[in-house]
Amino acid sequence: MSSPDLILASASPRRLELLSTIGVSARACPVDLDETPYPDEPARDYVVRLAREKALSGQQALSTLLPVLGGDTALSLDGQILGKPESDDQARAWLRCLSGRSHQVISAVAVTGPAGLLEACVISDVHFRLMAESEINAYVASGEGCDKAGGYALQGRGAMFVSRIEGSWSGIVGLPLCETAQLLARQGVTPWSGDNEPERGGAL
């Protein structure tokens, strides 16, 4: 098995999948952090802080020479941070609030490496159509959004409630790939390019 290009300071399978789509191999090494927002902490500051703390904590805990990537994503509605719902009742309440409205999804990435600590933050607008109560109940019962910010997954059934997005699709899912690729390149990790495309066999 080949060595990974970097360490992902997270247990998120979505971030591993996103990294693999740009040709970056990562090893997941979750860090244990208190993710409680500070009193009156703006959503953007909260997300950037957690991404930074994950990267730095991962680097310190592992004492690795590989770059370490930390990422975090949060949903903001009227300035309120919506994390992962703690119960089905909370998930239903949040989806009712999101119905027929727009909200922001804030995704931050931080990478430690030879260039020091580099970070980026992307804010995307997500617009929901009106949702029937029966749809909300059925979606929460499916369990898809139980571990997702705001209680829904854009990459799953939750996409049927989204009328449009303005911003980064991958950022909403969990990792803004455009910005991530640029940060990784500055840390010496080369994402996919035509120059490193694996050779294909000839025609039979």
Report, as residue numbers or ranges, the catalytic residues.
72
Q: Are 161 and 129 in contact (CB under 8 A)?
A: yes
**Gap between the Cα atoms of 155 and 71, Å rounded:** 18
116-128 and 162-166 beta bridge pairing: antiparallel
What whole-number distance in Å separates Cα of residue 164 and Cα of residue 160?
10
Rg (CA), the chain: 18
- The DSSP annotation for 132-192 comes to -HHHHHHHHHHTTTTTSGGG--TTTGGGGGEEEEES-HHHHHT--HHHHHHHHHHTT----
Structure tokens at 40: 């009156």
**Which uninterrupted H or E stretch holds 71?**
strand 68-77
Reported as type and span, the H/E element at residue 123 is strand 116-128
